Structure 1
Amino acid sequence: MAATMKDVARLAEVSLATVSAVLSGSTYVSPELTSRVQKAVAALGYAPNTVARSLKKGATKLIGLVVPDITNPFFTELVHEVQKRARTLGYAVLLCDSERDLEQERWYLRMLRAHLAVGAILCATGPDETYKDLANDVGIMPIVAVDHIIRASDYDSVVLDNVAASRIVMQHILSLGHTRVAILAGQQHLVPGRDRLAGFVDGLRAAGLDVIPELVRQGAFGEPEAFKAAQALMKLPEPPSAIFATNNQMLIGAMRALAESGIRCPDDISVVGIDDFAWAAAFSPALTTVRQPVDEMAAAALDMLVERVNGLDVAPRHIVFAPELVVRQSCVAPATKRASARRGKAAKSERAAKAPQLSHA
Structure 2
Amino acid sequence: MKKKVTSTDIAKAAGVSQSTVSMVLNKKYNVSFSRETIDKVEHAAKELGYVPPKRKTKKGVKKEKLLVVFCSNLTNPYYVMLLQGIELRAKEQGFGLFVCNTQRDLRMEERYLKMMWELRPLGIIYTCNPSHCFMELVTELAQKIPVAIVNNQNEKMDVDAVELDNSKLGRIMAKHLLDLGHRRVAYIAPPLTARQKQRSKRVEGFLKEYEKAGLKANVIIKAAKEEIDLNVAHIDSEYKIGFDLTQELLKERSGITAIVGLNDMIAFGILDALHEAKLRVPSDMSVMGCDNTLFARMHKVDLTTIEHFVIFKGRDACDIIMKKIASHTSPYSDIEPISTYHVEYEPQLIVRGTTGYAKESGKREKKGKN
Shared topology, TM-score over 0.5?
A: yes
CA–CA distance in structure 2, aligned partners of residues 260 and 113 of structure 1: 51
Q: Which of structures 1 and 2 has the larger relative contact order (alpha carbons within 8 angstroms, sep 6+)?
A: 2
Write out per-residue CA displacement over residues 298-337 of structure 1, whole angstroms, 9 at most, x where no aligned residue. Answer: 2221111122223273253332221111000100112334
**Correspondence for 1:351:** none
Residue type matched to 1:265 in 2? V
Alignment of 1:1-361 (within 5 A): 52-54=61-63, 60-124=64-128, 127-135=131-139, 140-148=144-152, 152-186=156-190, 187-189=192-194, 190-212=196-218, 215-219=220-224, 222-282=238-298, 284-310=300-326, 311=328, 313-337=337-361
Change (3 A) 1:184 1:325: same
Asked if the contact 1:163/1:195 (under 8 Å) is kept, the reply is: yes
What secondary structure, in the 3-state scheme, does the structure 1 residue paired with 2:294 have?
coil
CA–CA distance in structure 1, aligned partners of residues 66 and 123 of structure 2: 8
CA–CA distance in structure 2, aligned partners of residues 90 and 51 of structure 1: 18
**Correspondence for 2:46:** none
Change (3 A) 1:313 1:153: farther
CA–CA distance in structure 2, aligned partners of residues 266 and 134 of structure 1: 45
In the TM superposition, residue 137 of structure 1 has moved relative to its aligned partner by: 6.4
Asked if the contact 2:129/2:151 (under 8 Å) is kept, the reply is: no
Write out per-residue CA displacement over residues 59-100 of structure 1, whole angstroms, 9 at most, x where no aligned residue. Answer: x51001111111211111111111111111121111221122
In the TM superposition, residue 341 of structure 1 has moved relative to its aligned partner by: 5.7
Asked if the contact 1:131/1:150 (under 8 Å) is kept, the reply is: no
Write out per-residue CA displacement over residues 220-266 of structure 1, whole angstroms, 9 at most, x where no aligned residue. Answer: 78222232221111122323110111112211221222222222211
What secondary structure, in the 3-state scheme, does the structure 1 residue paired with 2:254 have?
coil
Change (3 A) 1:53 1:149: farther
In the TM superposition, residue 195 of structure 1 has moved relative to its aligned partner by: 1.5
Q: Taking structure 2 as the reference length, what is the TM-score of the superposition?
A: 0.70
Asked if the contact 1:275/1:291 (under 8 Å) is kept, the reply is: yes
Q: Taking structure 1 as the reference length, what is the TM-score of the superposition?
A: 0.72
Change (3 A) 1:341 1:273: closer
In the TM superposition, residue 273 of structure 1 has moved relative to its aligned partner by: 1.1
In the TM superposition, residue 114 of structure 1 has moved relative to its aligned partner by: 1.8
Unaligned runs of 5+ in 1: 1-48, 55-59, 343-361
Work out which of the two has the higher radius of gyration on C-alpha atoms and give 1 or 2.
1
Tell me which stretches of 4 or more aligned residues in structure 1 moved more than 4 Å: 135-139, 148-151
CA–CA distance in structure 1, aligned partners of residues 197 and 337 of structure 2: 26
Asked if the contact 2:84/2:314 (under 8 Å) is kept, the reply is: no
Identity score, percent:
26
Change (3 A) 1:188 1:51: farther
CA–CA distance in structure 2, aligned partners of residues 255 and 51 of structure 1: 57
What secondary structure, in the 3-state scheme, does the structure 2 residue paired with 1:275 have?
coil
CA–CA distance in structure 2, aligned partners of residues 149 and 163 of structure 1: 9
In the TM superposition, residue 130 of structure 1 has moved relative to its aligned partner by: 3.9
CA–CA distance in structure 2, aligned partners of residues 294 and 74 of structure 1: 7
